[in-house]
Amino acid sequence: MVEHKNFPRKWSNPLILAFASFMLILGGCQLVTTAVILFKGTDVPPPCKEKLTGRVAVLCWTDPSLTYTDSDNANAVGSELSKKIDLKLNNKKKSKITMVSQQEVRNRLDNYPDNITGEEDLIAIAKDLEADYLIGVYLMSFEYQEGIGVYQGKATYAVTLINGKTGEVVYDNQVIPQYVYPPNRTVSSDAVNGAQFRREYIQKLAERIGWEFYPHDRYDIDI
């Protein structure tokens, strides 16, 4: 005669069964999430859906009435930021685009002595440059010195994309939150000098602006 063993009844407890079911579901969700990441990757698509091709120009300009840290001025900041964005875009899309040199862009600005005042100027500059696209970055504020010997970058800006062939504004993002780097701390001059931090911050700001036009890793975050 076969002896039937009685298993402990504690496993029939509703709370234990519910917990076990939850863990199975959680494990399933994690597997699904992992599968999605493996299939799609971790890239975040850019908010601008226009595909950049042909000759692309970058123009950063600022409000000349703003004051800047140390000896910075509107033209210096705009020019340096433009160069960094140029490099970022060229590295990401070099097989599809040709960057218009910053020297050529700056030469065209001689025709606008009163500074850029709106989209009409951007459209005119794009046509002057014979650019397929012009990325316009309006830097509304820029600072990187929080106090004496203390650094933290802060900038507000807007981004506009002009189709130089049609004269249309094909992308316009005017509500970008202030970009702060590092986001949750300051950096002491004991760790880095002002010139070094400034270069690093402009590099990071250029990268963040570039994300408007090319994918980036969702885990690429500032610390």
Q: How many residues would you count in the chain? A: 223
- Does residue 24 form part of some domain? no
What is the residue-level pLDDT of the chain in tens, covering all 223 positions?
444 444 344 444 554 445 445 444 545 544 443 443 344 457 999 999 999 999 999 999 887 666 555 445 556 788 889 999 999 998 887 778 999 999 999 888 877 766 777 889 999 999 999 999 999 999 888 889 888 899 999 999 999 999 999 999 999 999 888 999 999 999 999 999 988 999 999 999 999 999 999 999 998 877 6
Euclidean distance between CA atoms 205 and 201, whole angstroms: 6
Is 121 part of a structural domain of the chain? Answer: yes
Write out the residue range of the structural domain in which residue 118 sits: 54-217
Q: Is residue 3 part of a domain?
A: no
Q: Which of 125, 83, 120 is nearest to 210 (CA)?
A: 83
Q: Give the predicted TM-score (pTM) of the model.
A: 0.77
pLDDT at 74: 58
Whole-angstrom distance, CA of residue 158 vs CA of residue 175: 7
Q: Chain centroid to CA 99: how far?
A: 19
How many independent structural domains does the chain possess? 1
What pLDDT sits at residue 28? 52
- Would 12 be classed as within a structural domain? no
Q: 99 in a domain, yes or no? A: yes
CATH number at residue 141: 3.40.50
Task: Tell me the two tokens of residue 194.
Answer: 């002002």
- What integer pLDDT is reported at residue 69 of this predicted model? 52
150 within domain boundaries: yes
The amino acid present at 108, given as its one-letter code, is R
**151 located within any domain:** yes
Residue 39 lies in a domain: no
CA end-to-end span of the chain: 70
* Per-residue CA distances from 139 to 3, 5, 57 (Å): 83, 77, 16
Q: What is the pLDDT, as a whole number, of residue 222?
A: 76
pLDDT of residue 14: 52
